[in-house]
């Protein structure tokens, strides 16, 4: 899903937790691990006046798969639990897990073509029913449904 949706849903679901801010940050972080190097790559291409081609995304694919893996999440959870305790580990684990759950069903296409949940040990992935970016282009009203659902959940369970 998109950046704003990750942040919004993390707020809706975690706002009453003592680790809410950490959960929101770590619900965004998996995409930053991948997007920042990708932006750097695109800027380098612009400076050299080399046309950007989609194959260059392959260079950031490994970062994407690592940051969207339950294996990486488990390592981050255990390390944060060991060094910072249960509160920090809960925020980090919950935020990161929510990000992965949101992406699993919405990443049918793109350079990653599905979230590899057990990367680097396995490349198996659940076939996602939709590609969020494509759906927002074809059916922009889907974003309004997304916002509406977030509002309903917030007011029903907040
Ligand atoms: Zn993501």
For residue 60, pLDDT over 80 is answered with no
- Counting other chains too, the contacts that 124-128 makes at CB distance below 8 Å and 24 or more residues apart are 128/104
Domain of residue 104, residue span: 3-157
How many Å apart are CA 107 and CA 157, to the nearest integer? 27
Query: How many domains does the structure of the chain reveal?
Result: 1
Would you state the structure tokens that stand for residue 62, as one six-digit string? 């490994």
Distances (CA, A) of 154 to 7, 12, 13, 98, 148: 13, 5, 7, 16, 10
CA 62 to ligand 1 center in whole angstroms: 13
Q: List pLDDT tens digits, range 91-121.
A: 999 999 999 999 998 988 766 778 899 999 9
Q: Among 18-32, 42-56, 80-94, 110-124, which is the least confidently predicted range?
A: 42-56
CA 24 to ligand 1 center in whole angstroms: 13
DSSP run (H or E) holding 41: helix 20-47
CA 31 to ligand 1 center in whole angstroms: 5
Instruction: Tell me if 78 sits within 8 A of 8, measured CB to CB.
Output: no
Nearby residues of 92 by Cβ (< 8 Å), 6 or more positions away: 22, 23, 26, 76, 77, 80
CA 151 to ligand 1 center in whole angstroms: 22
Helix (H, G, I), strand (E, B) or coil at 131: strand
Bridge partners, 116 (sequence order): 125
Angle, nearest 10°, between helix axes 58-67 and 20-47? 170
Residues with CB under 5 A from ligand 1 (ion): 31, 103
Enter the DSSP assignment of 52: P
Entry pTM: 0.88
């Amino acid at each position: 899903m998109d950046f704003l949706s990750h942040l919004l849903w993390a707020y809706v679901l975690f706002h009453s937790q003592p680790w809410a801010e950490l959960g929101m940050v770590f619900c965004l972080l998996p995409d930053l691990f991948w997007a920042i190097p990708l932006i750097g790559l695109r800027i380098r291409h612009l400076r050299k006046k080399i046309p950007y081609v989609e194959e260059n995304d392959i260079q950031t694919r490994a970062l994407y798969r690592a940051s969207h893996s339950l294996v990486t999440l488990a390592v981050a959870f255990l390390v944060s639990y060991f060094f910072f305790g249960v509160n920090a580990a809960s925020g980090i684990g919950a935020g990161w897990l929510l990000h992965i759950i949101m992406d699993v069903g919405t990443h049918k296409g793109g350079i990653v073509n599905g979230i590899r949940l057990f990367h680097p040990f396995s490349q198996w992935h659940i076939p996602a029913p939709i590609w969020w970016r494509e759906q927002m282009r074809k059916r922009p009203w889907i974003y309004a449904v997304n916002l509406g659902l977030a509002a309903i959940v917030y007011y029903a369970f907040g």
